[in-house]
Amino acid sequence: MNKSFSLTDWVRPNIQELTSYTSARDQYGQDQGILLDANELGLGPAIPGTDAGQSVSTSTLHRYPDPYQRELRTAIATLRGVHADQVFTGNGSDEAIDLIIRLFCEPAKHRIMCTPPTYGMYTVSARIHDIAIDQAPLNPDFSLHPKAIIDAISPDTRVLFLCSPNNPTGTIANESDLRYLCEHAGCLVVIDEAYIDFAQAESMAKSLEEFPNLIVLQTLSKSFGLAGIRLGIALASKNIIAYFDKIKAPYNINSLSAQVALSALQQPEIMRAKVQEILLERAYVTERLELLKQILNAGPISLGAIFPSQANFVLFQIDQALRIQQALAEQKVIVRYRGNELHCENSLRLSIGSREENNHFFEALITVLGYQGPAYKNIVKELDLQPKHSALAQQDTAQNTATAQGANAAQPTNQAQAPRKATVRRHTSETKIDITLNLDGTGVHHIQTGLRFFDHMLEQIARHGLIDLDIQCQGDLHIDEHHTMEDVGIALGQALSQAYGDKRGIDRYGFVLPMDEARATVALDLSGRPYLVFNASFDRVYVGDIPTDMIEHFFYSLATHMQATLHIDVLGANDHHKVEACFKGLARALKQAIEHNPRISGQVPSSKGSL
């Protein structure tokens, strides 16, 4: 804990002495009685009438909004696990950035610190206020260098700006590095978390009580998809928030923005569902960039690094990046050139869009690269540019059919049912795991556990089971592999169990698979009665970076938590092939077991009537 920080030592003296703007309603209440104090138009707004079904109210627009947005701040506090008096709402995060510099930095005297490559508005705001800017660059892998940052901080440094997940790289800062900087920086530490909902990390807002010099910035522009209402958020100690309110514009959030924001915050599950779709699309785009990199390897223009991202965009390197960006713009596809940023030579930043938009980007890029005719078609085919998730398309078709046939339309078949999805978040002192899956997917996957061979095996479940699968795990690998593999098995089993639900109309059982000289027999029953029989022996202690004695334990954890009976028997000479046969066999057994069978539509596949 940073106990030495005293806020009065850091706030500019003239602001401490400032008498802020107040209105009569600050004293007597926002909505009390007959409001004749603020020179508003008492006859109501001078706009055309609105439809009764309109989602936001315009009937009170002749009144000034609550200057402190109390209801909105309370909703934000509930979502983020802080107190309402620790929340500030601004006209985008850029207002909060500007207020931070005005609050703590005296022009032509104080300095701020940035860690390039990073978001550009920190330096823009500083220059507007005549504040000097120092830099402590990120490492070439875009990680923080905490000790170098501390060494670069001068006595006149007032604010350290950090961006995590970082823009433009998409990388997340290590929590231990962030905590170290909050403890030792000796200044205000601002962590910009605009993309935190897309990341495999918790918000640093949980540490506000521990670090009184910490300010966390967030926004509704990204994960909530509300860029048009310009609603930014600062989370900090109640004393810092009180100073924000002292110097902000009197009514900085308009009523319509507040209404829309409050509606979104009251149903955050909608945001979370959209985030999971974007994560699947991010995996889809990243996988095809990797494929394109291989395809172009011998050509005149090649792809370089495709940087791992924990945001809703991907940064990648490509020869002649600026020319490529300009040529894409001519194809009506707009991406961001980032090649002028440190460590980002020849880089483009691609925001993740809908499946149609993402596919259109690849088609335009192939065209820009000069491929036409059969060559163009061959590359498109190799990239396997798939349409929108098949299950979603089926759902749309079923809904359209039902509408056309009217209220008496027959129930849709099993093939037109809504996608069977699940999200599991398992965070313990040993592992932090987030899993999202769609049983009715196409095999799109994005898997990072810290164990590369384990990732490769889990990918087999996605690809051969036709399951869209996103697994992000941060485990205590400095101890060993046990907790990571065990807990992924637990969380994946829970997600599968959630997704197939009551199992109505599925086939329930499953499969045998050969793998070169190896042969795995996998028998699966989604019985609701967890049991594992695993018959295998391995000559090697490790295959890749996972211990072979953890293979059985993973399948035990998986079977137990997916509530299934699982028998695996494997023979062969090559341990790599034997392990892979087990995972591929499970994938195909699972695919068969969860398949909808129209002959038993709506029925539980059990003589008991339940599983």
Helix, strand or coil, per DSSP, at residue 111: strand
Residue 608 has pLDDT above 70, yes or no: no
| pLDDT (0 to 100) of residue 497 | 87
- pLDDT category of residue 503 using cuts at 50, 70 and 90: low
Mean pLDDT of 391-413: 38
> What phi-psi label fits residue 191: left (phi over 0), alpha (psi between -120 and 50 degrees) or beta?
beta
Q: Domain 271-383 is of which CATH architecture? A: Alpha-Beta Complex (3.90)
CA-to-CA distance for 267 and 83, rounded, in angstroms?
A: 19
Flag whether pLDDT at 394 surpasses 70.
no
Per-chain mean pLDDT for the chain: 87
Over the range 458-492, which residues count as b (16 or more CB within 10 Å of their CB) and which as e? bbbbbbbbbbbbbbbbbbbbeeebbbbbbbbbbbb
Mean pLDDT over 509-527 rounds to 74
- Residue 53, pLDDT score: 45
Residue 251 CA to residue 23 CA, distance in Å, equals: 11
* 574: nearest Cα among 606, 611, 544: 544
Is the Cβ–Cβ distance between 115 and 136 less than 8 Å? Answer: yes
Task: Identify the CATH class of 7-25+64-266.
Answer: alpha beta
In 537-611 the beta strands, taken as DSSP E runs, fall at 542-543, 546-547, 565-571
pLDDT at 162: 98
Q: Given this model, what pLDDT does residue 115 score?
A: 98
The pLDDT value recorded for residue 60 is: 81
Any idea what DSSP says for residue 302?
A: -
Burial group, residue 262, by CB count within 10 angstroms (0-12, 13-18, 19+): middle
- Cβ proximity of 21 and 7 under 8 Å: no
pLDDT single digits (tens) 191-232: 999 999 999 888 999 999 999 999 999 999 999 999 999 999
* Among the ranges given (64-73, 431-440, 502-511), the one the predictor scored with the smallest mean pLDDT: 502-511
Is 423's pLDDT higher than 70? Answer: yes
Boundaries of every domain in the chain: 7-25+64-266, 271-383, 414-600
Looking at the structure, give the CATH architecture of the domain made up of residues 414-600: 2-Layer Sandwich (3.30)
Residues whose CB falls within 8 Å of the CB of residue 609, separated by 6 or more in sequence, listed in order: none
Q: How far apart are the C-alpha atoms of 472 and 202, rounded to whole Å?
A: 13
Expressed in percent and rounded to 5, the helix, strand and coil fractions of the chain are: 40, 20, 40
Model pLDDT for residues 64-76, shown as the tens digit of each residue: 999 999 999 999 9
121 by Cβ neighbours in 10 Å (0-12 / 13-18 / 19+) ranks as middle
Q: Residue 417: which pLDDT band, with cuts at 50, 70 and 90?
A: low
Q: What pLDDT sits at residue 403?
A: 36
CB-hemisphere CA count at 13 Å for 139? 11
Alpha-carbon span 531 to 364, nearest angstrom: 50
Q: Choose among 423, 66, 98: nearest CA to 262.
A: 66
| Sequence-separated (6 or more) residues with CB below 8 Å from residue 87 | 73, 74, 76, 77, 80, 233, 234, 235, 241
Instruction: State how far the Cα of 440 lies from the Cα of 442, in Å rounded to an integer.
Output: 7
Omega prior to 117 cis, within 30 of 0: yes
Lowest mean pLDDT segment, chosen from 117-131, 274-288, 409-423, 463-477: 409-423
Between CA 85 and CA 254 the distance in angstroms is 20
Q: Per-residue confidence at 405, pLDDT binned at 50, 70, 90?
A: very low
Sequence letter at residue 333? V
Query: Torsion angle of alpha carbons 419, 420, 423, 426, nearest 10°?
Result: -160
Tell me what the mean pLDDT of segment 596-604 comes to: 61
Whole-number pLDDT of residue 409: 35
Q: Are 594 and 439 in contact (CB under 8 A)?
A: yes
Helix (H) or strand (E) holding 178: helix 175-184
For the cut 80, the answer to whether the pLDDT of residue 471 exceeds it is yes
Q: Has residue 504 got a pLDDT over 90?
A: no
Percent of the chain with pLDDT over 70: 86
Output the pLDDT for position 392. 41
The stretch 540-562 carries a mean pLDDT of 94
Give CA–CA dist 276/260, Å, rounded: 22
Rounded Cα gap, residues 350 and 312, in angstroms: 9
Tell whether pTM > 0.85: no
Q: Specify the amino acid at residue 125.
A: S
Distances (CA, A) of 435 to 22, 426, 502, 535: 48, 8, 20, 28
542: three-class secondary structure by DSSP: strand
The pLDDT score that the predictor gives to residue 410 is 34
Kindly report, residue by residue over 46-64, the tens digit of the pLDDT.
Answer: 777 644 445 567 778 888 9
**Quick one: which of 190, 97, 98, 116 has its CA closest to 338?**
116
Higher-pLDDT residue of 592 and 237 is 237
pLDDT on residue 599: 62
CA distance 339 to 315: 10
User: pLDDT band at 396, cuts 50/70/90?
Assistant: very low
* Structural contact between residues 521 and 568, judged by C-beta atoms closer than 8 angstroms: yes
Closest CA to 418 of 392, 400, 389: 392
Q: Are 208 and 214 in contact (CB under 8 A)?
A: yes
pLDDT band at residue 29 using 50, 70 and 90 as cut-offs: low
Task: Taking residues 439-468, report their average pLDDT.
Answer: 92
Do 189 and 136 meet the contact criterion of CB atoms below 8 Å apart? no
- With a pLDDT cut of 90, the percent of the chain lying above it is 68
Residue whose tokens read 């905590």: 179
